[in-house]
Amino acid sequence: MDTEKNNLLTPNQLTYLLLGFVVGTGFLKLPNQLVKTAGQDSWMCVIFALIYPLYIVLVSCYIINKHPKENILVINKKYFGNFFGNIMNFIFMLQFIITTVVIIAHTMIFSRVYIVSYLAPLKVALITVLLVTYASSKGIGVLGKINQLVFYLFILVFLLSLTALKYGDILNLQPVFGAGMTNVLKTTPQTAYSYFGWECLLLLFPYAKDVKSIKKSALKAVAICGIIYVWTVFITIYYLSIDITPKNYWSFVMVFQSINVPIINNFRYIFMFIWIVISFRITANYYFVVTICINSFKKMDFKKIGLLIFPLILYLAYKFSDRMLRQKIEGFAYPASIIFNVSFISVVALLTYFKGKEPRS
């Protein structure tokens, strides 16, 4: 693993990189997914679901504290042996491959609907995969800087959604608890799927300059992510209402119709551009961790691995442009990933605890 000084992440870069694995393409449609069952109380589900990233981060930090120089792929082989360790590593990697191609598929669809409708899906996929392959090949240091820059651009545009407060209606959020706590709690696990990505901390921490600051950086990222998600759901319902929200596939985009800048014909297109940049960033991040995982099976240069998996990622992304197929795979993969990650990381933490208590010979 390349952990030369110039390629190490500062605490802030680690925070933005972790956010870059979670805050991606999915949050635009998060409100319309939740209002179907939780109604005007959907924003509560986002708060309750924070228990998932908090648990993953805190347990991961415990493992990191005990193994400050070994990522989860090495730890698995140490505790489970080469055979079972490789099986665990493959399952761990598989969820990142699926996420990579799902994001590329969403990018293809979004781009063709709003930006480049004249391009064939395969061409959009080819351009996307080429860009993310190149970005990920530049290494963790460059990715850290990209994530930091993209976050600054994103947050500047994101904060402009505050203008929707002027045009929405507080009655759209009332009555509070009107959907019932049963529906809120029932929707919370579904919301937790939107927080997928924190598991990458167990792969990335060896690249941190200061191991002692990892916990603080990760918790800071969770807090920022929580605020972004809660606000996204809250302001979308406030502006559109629970009746209109589910009728828009990317409902949060509609909030930006409230922004009126005289020199810009439609500010919504500015946000779309930022969204495309965000999708490239998150895809490059996942592409990079996939190369880390493959490297654990076969020691190779990360750039070579990136080129080798290029055709596979391109093919899968094109296949996943089929909405029915994508929804079936997402419907199975993300719930299964959440269950696997909680169980798997918990078991590793327990093994770490009990191994640490064994008397040294």
How far apart are the C-alpha atoms of 104 and 320, rounded to whole Å?
9
pLDDT at 7 over 90: no
Contacts of 74 (CB under 8 A, 6+ apart): 67, 296
Q: What is the pLDDT of residues 258-305, one digit of tens each?
A: 666 655 556 667 777 888 888 899 999 999 999 999 999 988 888 999
* Res. 361 pLDDT band, cuts 50 70 90: very low
The whole model's pTM is what?
0.90
The CB density around residue 324, as the number of other CB atoms within 10 Å, is: 7
Contacts of 255 (CB under 8 A, 6+ apart): 161, 164, 235, 236, 239, 240
Q: Which domains does the chain have, with CATH numbers?
A: 5-349 (1.20.1740.10)
Of residues 92 and 251, the one with the higher pLDDT is 92
Q: What is the pLDDT of residues 190-230, one digit of tens each?
A: 888 889 999 999 999 999 998 899 999 999 999 999 999 99
| CA–CA distances in Å: residue 98 to residues 52, 200, 252, 311, 333 | 20, 14, 24, 15, 8
DSSP 298: S
Q: Which helix (H) or strand (E) element contains residue 190?
A: helix 181-192
Q: What share of the chain is helix, strand, coil (3-state, %, to 5)?
A: 85, 0, 15
How far apart are the C-alpha atoms of 94 and 159, rounded to whole Å?
35
How far apart are the C-alpha atoms of 258 and 90, rounded to whole Å?
46
| CA–CA distances in Å: residue 289 to residues 1, 201, 215, 318, 324 | 12, 10, 20, 21, 27
pLDDT of residue 114: 64
Query: For the chain, first and last CA: distance in Å?
Result: 30
